[in-house]
Amino acid sequence: MAGHSQWANRKHRKARQDAKKGKIYSMMAKKIAVAAREGGGDPETNSALRMAIDEAKALGVPNDNIDRAIKRGTGELEGAQYEEMTYEGYGPGGTAILLEILTDNRNRTAAEIRHLFSKHGGNLGEAGCVAWMFQRKGQVIVESDGLTEEDLFLSAAEAGAEDLIELEDGFAVITPPSELEQVRSGLIEEGYEIKHAKFIFTTDNQIEVTDKEAERLLKFLDALEDHDDVQEIHANFEVREEDLARFVG
């Protein structure tokens, strides 16, 4: 069963996240504000907001930041109005790239993202050019804490999950989009420790990128991740450990 397509080796991504807490705080504040604006400021009745809050807490975002983001979303505090967008294109090695964006200026963001694609040897495409390669899924991250795959598999399947992926520090339970909340709630009722739940994109169309193309691609993805409006990066590639180690090192 295929793993999800968010781009990076986990150790590499975590190291970058630890070094870029300001970017993470800003990214999650936007996500929380949009969820609060669209569904209200009560996480008990707004599942999108609850998931965004859980994700923010898992990433270490302070409660004060979360509270301010909710108030910006509900209009209690002034703040920019963000809109959700997706951009699609191809990166080095023919890799399909799908970006989830939150922006308060779509013209500025489009120009900047197009520039990044061009600068790193990619091409920003039209809507739908790569989206057909990806499927939207739900993902619930479960703390391991001595938990075995066999223990979790049965509970996840009974709750409605369709896949289970072992991570370095836990498990990713993959669900149909419509079953995400049901699976999350079911696992909580069974006593499992949930870090967060959210929607992701998966793909079965993986391609291997090696050597110089792998290095170019990873630099490009890092540049995208640095952009303030980029929320999530999805791509359909695999990189050998030796290529990744050379890039990180």
Q: Tell me phi and psi for residue 159, to 5 degrees.
A: -80, -15
- How far CA 149 is from CA of 104, 167, 188, in Å, comes to 42, 10, 17
145 and 190 in a single domain? The answer is yes
**Which residues lie closer than 8 Å to 207 by C-beta, 6 or more apart?**
93, 94, 95, 236, 237, 238
118 and 145 in a single domain? The answer is no
The predicted structure's pLDDT at residue 11: 45
95 and 180 in a single domain? The answer is no
Q: What is the CATH number of the domain that holds 176?
A: 3.30.70.980
Within a domain: 4:
no
31 and 58 in a single domain? The answer is yes
The predicted structure's pLDDT at residue 4: 41
Instruction: Report which secondary-structure segment, H or E, holds 99.
Output: strand 95-103
Looking at the predicted structure, is the pLDDT value of residue 96 above 90?
yes
Looking at the predicted structure, is the pLDDT value of residue 248 above 70?
no
Q: Which two tokens stand for residue 248?
A: 């990180």
Q: Which two tokens stand for residue 90?
A: 């191809």
Q: Domain of 113?
A: 83-132+205-248
Looking at the predicted structure, is the pLDDT value of residue 136 above 60?
yes
Q: How far apart are CA 36 and CA 46, in angstroms?
A: 8
93 and 127 in a single domain? The answer is yes
Model pLDDT for residues 5-45, shown as the tens digit of each residue = 444 444 445 555 555 777 889 999 999 999 999 999 999 99
Count of structural domains, the chain? 3
Q: How far apart are CA 19 and CA 65, in angstroms?
A: 18
Q: Are 131 and 86 in contact (CB under 8 A)?
A: yes
Mean pLDDT, residues 227-238:
92
139 and 188 in a single domain? The answer is yes
138 and 199 in a single domain? The answer is yes
The predicted structure's pLDDT at residue 15: 53
Please tell me the number of Cα atoms within 13 Å of 3 on its side-chain side. 15
142 and 228 in a single domain? The answer is no
Share of the chain above pLDDT 90, in %: 67
Using a 10 angstrom Cβ sphere, with 0-12 exposed, 13-18 middle and 19 or more buried, the burial of residue 168 is exposed
Q: Outline where DSSP puts E strands in 144-241.
A: 163-166, 170-175, 194-203, 207-209, 230-235, 237-239
127 and 224 in a single domain? The answer is yes
The predicted structure's pLDDT at residue 150: 85
243 and 126 in a single domain? The answer is yes
Q: Are 116 and 224 in contact (CB under 8 A)?
A: yes
140 and 188 in a single domain? The answer is yes
Residue with tokens 């781009």: 7
199 and 141 in a single domain? The answer is yes
Q: How far apart are CA 216 and CA 121, in angstroms?
A: 8
